[in-house]
Chains A and B, each alone.
Chain A
Amino acid sequence: MKKTLLTGTALICLAAPALAEGTLNIYAWSDSIAPELIEKFSAETGATVNYDGFNSNEDALTKLQAGASGYDIVTPSQHFVKIMIDEGLLEDIDAKDLDAYAAVDDRWKGQWWDPENDYSIPMAYGTAGFAVNRDLYDGPVDSWGVYFEPTEALQGKIASLSYPDEVVGAAQLYLGVEFCTEDKSEMKKVYDLLMAQKPYVAAYSSDNIENRLGSGEVAAHFWWDGNVLRTRDAGANLEYAMPKEGLVGWLDSYVVPKGAANVDMAKKFIEFMSTEENATIQYNYYAHSAPVKIDEASAKYTPENAPELFPTVPVEFSKACSPAAQDLVTKVWTDLLQ
């Protein structure tokens, strides 16, 4: 009896890593990785790939903090990469030694969120701004004022995100308030602006944006560049605004959570996604700018057909705020939606 038990336990111990060796659990932005590439990766390596989507960096951070997320790869934005590193939530994968690192555009190397390039390989970058449905609104879109202080044409026809992250950033750009300021009076201005906008906002929601804006349920929506591009490409009459005050920049990276079951497979996936051929397929699918080298000749989006990806206004990247500054951001948001 004892022997069977022991053998049984030993078998389970042996079986667990064997099982893990064949699976890769990805937690990335919803619909952000080309399904075609996931199939190809499965075929090449024999791995079973599971894909879960998130709609906000906060969701990703919360999952990792809750511990034992079971994911091997996550794709947070730059300021959350910084927080995750500081909180000890990521595995040091010596990213700079990967082949993928050589493919990364120099301007994304050695950045403040991962100065030694130990933890992250960039996946995509872009901007957060707002888009309008041109079937419903034909006015100007050259300023954040159009969105935050809407004229009658847009009143009640605006939608925002359900999280403060980039929305507060955009309001700060409009008001000329520093990102991550700890100055209460400055943040009060942001609050006042958003509060004055609230009566004209139909919904605060980060889900299902393409339907809400594409179908004309709302006429203006806070959104990301590539998503606007994809929806416009699918036939919706959208325009991505270029506000003169600037756009909020982001860069998502592949990172590996601490204690991931399958670090090797995760690295293999990062290498796989960063080859020129696959990065091009990914670029054509995701429609967000690629931080790695792609095959320009077969790239679907160019400055001519995709003005969304080539901003003509300044781009300011979100920062990782101090806890005090973050509290103010949260206060703005809970006071706004109370």
Chain B
Amino acid sequence: MTRAALKSFRLWGLVPAWALMGLTLIIPVAIVAGVSLADRGPYGGFNWALNVSSYREILFTMGWTDELEFDPKYLVIIGRTLAYGLATTAICMALSVPVAYVIANARENWKPFLVYLVTLPFWVSMIVRVYAWLIILGNEGLAEKTWKFFGGGDVDTFLFTPGAMLTGMVYSYIPLMVLPVYAAIEKLDPALLEASHDLYGNRWTTLRRVILPLTWPGLAAGAILVFVPAIGTVLEPMLLGGGKQMMMGTLIQTQFGGGRNWPFGAAIAMVLMAMVVIVLVLNARRAAAIAREMEP
């Protein structure tokens, strides 16, 4: 192919991809952004306008005494969502490193099967999987029986607690962490570990100076894959957390449903999206910095 042809192919060859991105990503996001600036309809719905009151409402609301007051309630919800997202990511990371390590060091003919086991839950609908936890954590469920078998005291219920919610979130998203971490550990050259030991590096040093830096890209990719859906979660807080503490996902849902305030729901959705974009940008910059470092 000539240079010119290649150049034009680069331009036109990507048209289908751009069209797909435009139709399924850019236009919908633009609509949500537009709705977040619209006037709310009296019974839900909206009228196009340019109105930032939905964003102001995140910080200031009408109090019970009829005056605009600073109200941190939505900030609390945003903070809580971030906290649960971070906790889910951290727990997934801690659990998936040993799992990935075992898979990477398993007998060669076992590996595909073990990887298949990790992805197996994805074959079942997410709602069904979360419902399964209702039974496990519920009254007289597996969790309670196991707890009592090992001499645990009387428990009222495991369900409808922050712990139940976190359990469900970790369970739902952990395969997204195991796979990239496994890919990173798999590529780790055992000779480097030996070299580290030969140079009198103990286990801790080897982990810190050799294993972690080399598997970091996998961990970072896994962290993003887990964190992003975790902060948008709706099912676990509603079903396992009992809907007692709002997360951003449930808040958005309430505003479009019972709250009948679509522009405000859209504004919260934009904030959520902004948070995701910030995480992705930070990661991209980090990756670029690492790539620069690697260059001779």
Contact = CB atoms under 8 A, between A and B. Distances in A.
Contacts of B45: 65, 87
Interface string B106-122: 00000000000000000
Nearest to A156: B156
A330 B258 contact: yes
Interface residues of A, number: 40
Contacts of A207: 238-239
Contacts of B246: 334, 337-338
Interface stretch (A12-20, A33-41, A159-167, A229-237): A159-167
B133 interface: no
Contact of A215 (B65, B139, B156, B257): B139
B75 to A, nearest CB: 10
Contact of B73 (A59, A217, A335): A335
A58 B76 contact: no
Contacts of B134: 208, 211
Contact of A59 (B74, B238, B251, B257): B257
B259 A338 contact: no
Contacts of A333: 254, 258-259
B138 A217 contact: yes
Nearest to B250: A337
Interface residues of B: mostly helix, strand, loop or mixed? loop
Interface in A293-338: 323, 326, 330-331, 333-335, 337-338
Contacts of A65: 41, 43-45
Interface in B32-91: 41-45, 61-62, 64-66, 73-74, 76-77
B64 A58 contact: no
Contacts of A184: 64-66
Nearest to A335: B73
Contact of B64 (A188, A211, A338): A188
Interface in A150-208: 156, 159, 162-165, 184-185, 188, 191, 198, 201-205, 207-208
A102 to B, nearest CB: 32
A62 interface: yes
Contact of B258 (A83, A87, A163, A211): A163
Contacts of A217: 138-139, 157, 159
B245 interface: yes
A117 interface: no
Nearest to B137: A217
A47 interface: no
B243 A215 contact: no
A262 to B, nearest CB: 24
A216 interface: yes
23 contacts: A56-B257, A58-B258, A59-B257, A62-B256, A65-B43, A86-B43, A163-B258, A165-B258, A184-B64, A188-B64, A201-B242, A204-B243, A205-B238, A205-B239, A216-B139, A217-B139, A326-B260, A330-B259, A330-B260, A333-B258, A333-B259, A335-B73, A337-B254
Interface string B265-291: 000000000000000000000000000
B243 A162 contact: yes
Contacts of B242: 159, 201-205
B160 interface: yes
A61 interface: yes
Contacts of B131: 208
Interface of A: 56, 58-59, 61-62, 65, 83, 86-87, 156, 159, 162-165, 184-185, 188, 191, 198, 201-205, 207-208, 211, 215-217, 323, 326, 330-331, 333-335, 337-338
A337 B76 contact: no
A223 to B, nearest CB: 16
A217 B159 CA distance: 9
A243 to B, nearest CB: 23
B194 to A, nearest CB: 54
B209 interface: no
B239 A58 contact: no
A323 B62 CA distance: 15
A78 B239 CA distance: 29
Nearest to A185: B64
Contacts of A86: 43
Interface in B226-249: 238-239, 242-246
A330 B246 CA distance: 14
B261 interface: yes
Given A58-B260, A83-B43, A86-B43, A162 B238 contact: yes
A169 to B, nearest CB: 13
Contact of B244 (A62, A198, A335): A198
A215 B43 CA distance: 37
Most buried by B among A156, A198, A203, A333: A203
* A-B pairs with lowest CB-CB distance, top 10: A203-B242, A323-B42, A204-B243, A338-B73, A58-B257, A65-B45, A58-B258, A163-B258, A330-B259, A203-B160
